[in-house]
Structure 1
């Protein structure tokens, strides 16, 4: 099954153009959607989840027209939004069972088996009787995935799922997503580059409502090979370098800025070549391309 998005555009009443002629083909497996906050990722996810209408364009999930067959989409969709609320005074088992009924799993015996299996899959079975208000952030996210997996969805959308998780919970959550992605289309919308690097065989970079890159992380890394240069610089030199070079990232190391620039040839000035990573790819599209195009 494929998800085909063609020429999707959306402008909100306040004039913000959230999506600009977005076209993507997404196949089974883990698909990473990378972009900064405000890039249009959540607008795209909400449109795919039938929560808002686009101004123009088409979306096809297999033989289902997502924009005209919303009920059919919802039967086969699992969705974990960025802001996922739970009833704090209800235990996980009870709430998941209730959500299963809403998903159409009305047979009591079947529902009990499904709930048990999902709580085990998300490593929440031992805490099934605990009120959700007492769950950690990572446990709530795993509960969110459990509810998203009800009724064996063909498409799962997760929006910024690891934001705020500690390293152990993040790893546990990413391992769970990776397992799910073996048999399902899973769209991982995030601004955290490492999430995509570790999980996804296909990805897109989006900013200001436009798709800047679509392809595999490996292909993206090939595009910047031999083009990333690094230098440790005094703060006093930063402004001049920003004005004369395509600076794609800056970070303080030991109190002194270390910058990466994008250049086809050795820029001199003491810059050293380095092997670029996916973060450099991301920054090269978000910052470098803008600088070049300007």
Structure 2
């Protein structure tokens, strides 16, 4: 199974050009869509989830036309939006049972087996009878995945699923997503580089509505290997360095400011080489585009 997105564009009524000729081929497994806030990630996710119509372009999931056959898409879609509400006084067990019924699982025993399986898979069995309003952020996210898995979806879209989770909950969520991604297409939309680095075999970077890079994380890192240099500077010097070279990121380390610069060769003897990672790729791709947009 493969998801093919071709020349997808979307402009909102306020004039915001959210998607600009986006083209992606997404195979089975975990696919990371990485980009800053406002890059167009949620616009793409809502379009895939049939919640809004694109202005132009096409999206095919094998033989299913996502933009035209919304009913058929919804039968095989699991969706966890960036923000979703829960009925605070209903238990997760009863809510999942209700959603399963709405999705057409009419057999009571079949529905019971499914709900119990999902609660166990998402590690919510012990709190199945507690009201959703008492759940922590991580528990609500795991409930969100449980409801998205009802009906054995072939395409799962999760939008910023780990934002706001503590480290332990992020690990649990990563393990859950990794397991799900073995048998379906899972699109993980996020601005957290580590989520993509830890989970995804394929990815794309989107910025200002455009796909600026795509491929395997290892191959994208290889493209900047030997071109990333670092230096510890005084914070007041940052703007001077930005004017003279391509500063892709700044970090604080033990109170000091460390800059990463993209250059084919060592800028000068005060810089030292550093091993490139996916964060360097991400910032290298978006830094110049964001600077141009703000100019």
Q: Which residue in the other structure is 2:251 paired with? A: 251
Q: Which residue in the other structure is 1:188 paired with? A: 188
Instruction: Report Cα offsets for 1:48-104 as digits up to 9, x if no partner.
Output: 000000000001011111011100000000000000111000000000000001111
Instruction: Report Cα offsets for 1:181-229 as digits up to 9, x if no partner.
Output: 0000000000000000000000000010000001000000100000000
Q: Helix, strand or coil for the counterpart of 1:267? A: coil
Within-5 A mapping of 1:142-157: 142-157=142-157
Deviation at 1:253, TM superposition (A): 1.8
Q: Which residue in the other structure is 1:235 paired with? A: 235
Q: Helix, strand or coil for the counterpart of 2:98? A: helix
Q: Helix, strand or coil for the counterpart of 1:109? A: helix
Partners of 2:133 and 2:289 in 1: CA distance: 44
CA RMSD, Structure 1 to Structure 2 (Å): 1.3
Q: Which residue in the other structure is 1:179 paired with? A: 179
1:247 touches 1:288 (CA, 8 Å); kept in 2? no
Partners of 1:57 and 1:63 in 2: CA distance: 16
Partners of 2:228 and 2:93 in 1: CA distance: 50
1:246 touches 1:292 (CA, 8 Å); kept in 2? no
Provide TM-score, normalisation by structure 2: 0.97
1:2 touches 1:27 (CA, 8 Å); kept in 2? yes
1:100 equivalenced with 2:100 (yes/no): yes
Higher alpha-carbon deviation: 224-233 or 249-258: 249-258
Deviation at 1:239, TM superposition (A): 1.7
Instruction: Assess, with a 3 A threshold, how the Cα gap between structure 1 residues 290 and 129 changes in structure 2: closer, same or farther.
Output: closer
Gaps (5+ residues) in structure 2? none
Q: Helix, strand or coil for the counterpart of 1:284? A: helix
1:5 touches 1:24 (CA, 8 Å); kept in 2? yes
1:246 touches 1:291 (CA, 8 Å); kept in 2? no
Partners of 2:14 and 2:288 in 1: CA distance: 29
Higher alpha-carbon deviation: 172-181 or 229-238: 229-238
Deviation at 1:238, TM superposition (A): 1.6
Partners of 2:289 and 2:46 in 1: CA distance: 27
Deviation at 1:269, TM superposition (A): 5.0
Partners of 2:21 and 2:261 in 1: CA distance: 30
Gaps (5+ residues) in structure 1? none
Instruction: Report Cα offsets for 1:2-30 as digits up to 9, x if no partner.
Output: 10101000000000000000000101000
1:273 equivalenced with 2:243 (yes/no): no
Instruction: Assess, with a 3 A threshold, how the Cα gap between structure 1 residues 291 and 246 changes in structure 2: closer, same or farther.
Output: farther
Deviation at 1:235, TM superposition (A): 2.1
